[in-house]
Amino acid sequence: MSMRSFRTAAFFLASAAGFAACGYGASATTGTSAGGAATGSGAKLTVESSKYGKILALSSGETLYMFTADSPTASKCSASCTGIWPPVGANHVVAGAGVQSNLIGSISRGSGTQLTYDGHPLYTYAGDTSAGAVAGEGINSYGGLWYVLAAGGTPVKPSSSSGSSSGSSYGGY
């Protein structure tokens, strides 16, 4: 097993343990959650530059994704899906520069709420190992496709020449 594979496996084991102990995803009032979705009290949505243009992110640098299987009122990502795609909690989130505050919303999720943008429930991706990473773009897993969002709320779909993965590096769940 290569060192990178070992670190990835260790990361996912730690993520699973964190989810069992703390619940799902990020919440703007609970600090860092498992899976890398770090937000703090008063978390800010921002617009960041990426190889896909200007995209939506958290002020701490995590890229935000939408899932094509979701609806504007319900997330279809549950159980093992949330270990790879942590839902972003909606507590005390504010709009930063370039973010349209009228597009920020939330949906009910279990005993909490999940942040939405232009009707898309939002997630981070456990495979994004650094601020500004977009490794989840275009992945087909858990019954749908995952895309980053442009500042206007539309999914950014990779062109065939972008080199983005069309399958999941986690087995295409």
* pLDDT attached to residue 152: 93
What's the average model confidence in pLDDT over 1-5?
45
Segment 79-123, tens digit of pLDDT: 999 999 999 999 889 999 999 999 999 999 988 999 999 999 999
* Alpha carbon separation from 97 to 53, 92, 103 (Å, rounded): 16, 16, 13
- The tokens of 40 are what? 């703090």
* pLDDT attached to residue 32: 32
User: How high does pLDDT run on average in the chain?
Assistant: 77
d(CA 6, CA 8): 5
Largest CA distance in the chain: 48
* Alpha carbon separation from 117 to 2, 5, 29, 136, 172 (Å, rounded): 38, 33, 19, 18, 25
* Helices within the chain (DSSP H only): 3-22, 81-84
